[in-house]
């Protein structure tokens, strides 16, 4: 179906979408994100799919945005946009904001609102942009080696574009995660309510499948209503408006760094923060010559 995504039907009623770029620790470039969106579209369309699992091949769930990507705009224009924000080639903040509205907040919000139940299976590192893949899912099963990290503050930015942190773990822990850049363990994430279940690494696939199987037996009308009711609760509390505010601050930070450093992020923070957070396989991360936003 695609280069970076596998689409599987492990058993009746369940689709499993697998990030399959393990040589980069499932780094997200434009192609991977749109191929992932196409896989979610397929699972949404197929009537026999009642529950969707999002999993990842390799040691790590995702290292976040692929900062080695070049030609963002050319790559993006190969795909059908999911939002009306297509002004990526406009100069300055207007173009950057448009790209990030489409590719990051647009896609993550869209996946969050799929009217079927989604379950993320997370192992290894899940860094910054990786959070924008697992957080939109309804449930998260993590292996005991999973670590959730946010390294954007070292890059001079206050969090990833889809800013769900306070909703996922509460305000104090959200601030700690952002301000320190230190990893949150799977067990700590479970205790905070961010993760549903923690299982040994070898049992992640089976445990996620067992949970999906149980939910797939429920009437889809009811599971959809549960999702709408719970998501509607946090939306009534202002989730979406708060995330729009954080996104505007994110854009302000990009513009600040463009003004003072000529790059959309703090150039001094790139190597240290990324090196600390992730390695692709066992290879040291190669610092990009010109980081992307």
Closest-approach residue to Zn ion (CB):
293
Instruction: For the CB of residue 161, give the shortest distance to Zn ion in the complex, in Å.
Output: 5
Instruction: For the CB of residue 254, give the shortest distance to Zn ion in the complex, in Å.
Output: 6
CA distance 182 to 231: 28
Instruction: Give which of 20, 63, 129 is closest to 285, Cα–Cα.
Output: 63
Find where tokens 């996104």 sit: 247
Instruction: For the CB of residue 250, give the shortest distance to Zn ion in the complex, in Å.
Output: 6
Instruction: For the CB of residue 292, give the shortest distance to Zn ion in the complex, in Å.
Output: 9
CB contact at 8 A, 148 and 173: no
Residue 170 φ/ψ region, left for φ over 0, alpha for ψ in the -120 to 50 degree band, beta for the rest: left
Identify the residue among 129, 136, 166, 293 touching Zn ion (CB under 5 A).
Answer: 293
CB contact at 8 A, 178 and 158: yes
* C-beta closer to Zn ion: residue 35 or 100: 100
* C-beta closer to Zn ion: residue 58 or 293: 293
117-122 and 14-19 strand pairing? unpaired
Query: Distance from first CA to last CA of the chain, Å, rounded?
Result: 28
Segment 205 to 244, residues that bind Zn ion, using CB under 5 A: none
* C-beta closer to Zn ion: residue 87 or 191: 87
Instruction: For the CB of residue 225, give the shortest distance to Zn ion in the complex, in Å.
Output: 34
Segment 41 to 100, residues that bind Zn ion, using CB under 5 A: 100
Does residue number 156 form part of the binding site for Zn ion (CB under 5 A)? no
CB contact at 8 A, 195 and 189: yes
* C-beta closer to Zn ion: residue 186 or 253: 253
* C-beta closer to Zn ion: residue 223 or 277: 277
Task: List phi, psi (to 5°) of 152.
Answer: -70, -25
Applying CB under 5 A, which residues contact Zn ion?
100, 293
């Amino acid at each position: 179906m695609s280069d970076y995504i596998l689409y599987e039907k492990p058993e009746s009623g369940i689709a499993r979408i697998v990030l399959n770029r393990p040589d980069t620790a499932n780094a997200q470039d434009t192609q991977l994100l749109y191929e992932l969106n196409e896989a979610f579209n397929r699972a949404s369309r197929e009537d026999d799919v009642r529950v969707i699992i999002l999993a990842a091949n390799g040691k790590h769930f995702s290292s976040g945005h692929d900062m080695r990507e070049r030609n963002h705009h050319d790559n993006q224009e190969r795909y059908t946009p999911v939002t009306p924000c297509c002004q990526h080639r406009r100069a300055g903040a207007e173009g950057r904001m448009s790209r990030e509205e489409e590719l990051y907040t647009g896609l993550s919000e869209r996946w969050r609102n799929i009217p079927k139940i989604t379950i993320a299976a997370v192992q290894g590192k899940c860094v910054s942009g990786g959070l924008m893949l697992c957080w939109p899912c309804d449930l998260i099963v993590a292996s005991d080696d999973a670590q959730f990290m946010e390294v954007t503050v070292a890059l001079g930015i206050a969090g990833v574009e889809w800013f769900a942190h306070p909703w996922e773990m509460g305000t104090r822990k959200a601030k700690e995660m952002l301000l320190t850049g230190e990893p949150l363990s799977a067990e700590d994430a479970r205790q905070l309510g961010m993760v549903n279940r923690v299982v040994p690494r070898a049992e992640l696939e089976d445990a996620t499948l067992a949970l999906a199987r149980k939910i797939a037996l429920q009437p889809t009308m009811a599971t959809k209503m549960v999702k709408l009711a719970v998501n509607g609760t946090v939306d009534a509390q202002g989730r979406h408006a708060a995330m729009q505010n954080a996104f505007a601050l994110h854009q302000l930070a990009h513009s600040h760094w463009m003004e003072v450093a000529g790059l959309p992020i703090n150039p001094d923070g790139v190597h240290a923060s990324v090196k600390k957070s992730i390695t692709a396989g066992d290879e040291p991360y190669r610092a990009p010559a010109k980081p992307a936003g």
